[in-house]
Amino acid sequence: MKLDFDFPHRSLLVRLFDEDIYAVGGYVRDLIRGVPSEDVDLLITRHPLEKIIEKLEPHGRVDLVGKSFGIIKFTLENKTYDIALPRKDIPKPAEVMGHKDFLIQADPFLPIEKDLERRDFRCNSMALRLKDGQLIDPFGGAEDTRAGLIRLTNPAAFPEDPLRVLRVARFASVLEFSVDPAIYEICKGIDLGGLSVERINEELFKILLQSRLPSRGLEELFRLSALKKLYPELYALTLSLHDPYFHPEKDEHGHHTVWHHTKLTVDQGQRVAQIASLPPGKRLALLLACLFHDVGKPKTADWEFKKGRMVLTNNCHDLVSQKMTLDFLTRYRIFSWENCDLREIVPLLVRWHHRLSELWQNRQVVTKKAFNRLMADVHGEIELLIYLDQADRAGRRVRLIEKFDRQALWFKKKLAEWNITRETIKPLILGRDLIPLGVQPGPGMGKILKKLYELQLEAAFETKEEGLRLAEELIKKERSRKQKE
């Protein structure tokens, strides 16, 4: 089979390597799917790496960072290509430990079919010869791609790299493919304990950020037994129930689980992030908060008799969820990402995710003071809290929201009306402002500064001048009190 395609620099690459250069992996798969792809991974056969470098260098920049693995990067006119030699997997010596049970060895004269054989999924095990568009497809990858199916290229070798379990979930989610049921049985016995947190985080982040419906990947993590092994606090949600009166949403088995609501909330969070045009760091913060906002419910589940019936409650689950979220981020060494302090922001969003609904219920009497206080509690990220609240409330249905609802818009309107921003809640009075008033650094100064900030949040003053006048009054009262003592 031949495919019709083209991309920048194809003619140059063919001129340099004739029929020995191929596009591989995602580019070929996406071409068959009819989905545009800007990333082109290339494979060159029958050329030693030094010869490839020699041919490429006159035409662009060659980056040798992966040379020891038979991989280089070639950049021409701001377009970068990953170029690899054919590679094979060889058994790893027993004394060499690591997250894989094999070593990767480059071999320029290895038949291309052997290189494709080592790839994880059939839909990824295809090559496209640049010269004439001939598709090399020894494992039926085109058929699986058209069917939207993930099957293993080499089931016997699949367990050698445990990360492939997470890749199943990611590809199923991002591509919206179904998974061959045989894969679930294979994955049950794969030990994920040797995976580094960095590799695990990369796959989870891709599921959350690159999927239209991240719930698909999250559910695959459950079916692949990875949720229980890697994220036991999330696995517990699959066994924890909601009261159907408050959470009518139910899964395909008719169960009102916290896990089902969580998945719907993450999907809605993805949609909210799109509507709000959030940058990647803020988007990930929101999605992680959606994923963990109810993580404390299994530990706080209880029954109470209310209004003539027994009700399933989760009192203080927001506080418990905050601690569990922080523990998770610490365990997986998730700190900052794309200029967003996830370790600071996500637990705060989880802690306060019910506060907006409380304010909404009392909106007729809500004051600027309450908004100031909440803005300070979430360290200036009240808009993300609005988005989490919107996703949580929409997480009672499958249909994705099309726009912000009345409640979310009301909060955004109030923030603008009262001019409450990250900047406006910064302390107006600092320690250096108190020194001219006779206050020296120490516990006494800290006490005054804390009181002044409380008054600022209560809207007792809005300018530095007003704050200094209040500071003088506080200092006088404190001195008077001490004199009386």
Q: Which residue has the higher pLDDT, 165 or 90?
A: 165
In a domain, 157, yes or no: no
One-letter identity of residue 409: L
200 & 311 share domain: no
Same domain assignment for residues 114 and 251? no
What is the band of 100 on the pLDDT scale with cuts at 50, 70, 90? low
3-state class percentages of the chain: helix first, strand second, coil last, to nearest 5 = 50, 15, 35
- Res. 1 pLDDT band, cuts 50 70 90: confident
Is the model's pTM score more than 0.85? yes
**Both 257 and 297 in a single domain?**
yes
Quick one: 375 and 289 in the same domain? yes
Number of compact structural domains in the chain: 4
Instruction: Judge whether 148 lies within some domain.
Output: no
Residue 374 forms part of a structural domain: yes
- Residue 453 pLDDT > 80, yes or no? yes
- Residue 383 confidence (pLDDT) above 70: yes
**Per DSSP, what are the bridge partners of residue 90?**
103
Strand, helix or coil for residue 73: strand
Distance (Å, whole) CA 236 – CA 190: 21
CA distance 79 to 7: 11
Amino acid symbol at 198: E
281-328 pLDDT tens trace: 999 999 999 999 999 999 999 999 887 888 888 999 999 999 999 999
Q: Residue 23 sits in which domain range?
A: 1-140
User: Are 185 and 217 found together in one domain?
Assistant: yes
* One domain for residues 444 and 411: no
Residue by residue, DSSP assigns 138-191 as TT-HHHHHHHTEE-BS-TTTGGGSTHHHHHHHHHHHHHT-EE-HHHHHHHHT--
Kindly state whether residues 22 and 171 are assigned to the same domain.
Answer: no
- Beta strand 336-337 with 309-313: parallel, antiparallel or unpaired? unpaired
Contact 20, 48 (CB under 8 A): no
Q: Which residue has the tokens 């700190």?
A: 335
218 with 263, same domain: the answer is no
**pLDDT tens-place string over residues 196-232:** 999 999 999 999 999 999 999 999 999 999 999 999 9
d(CA 220, CA 172): 8
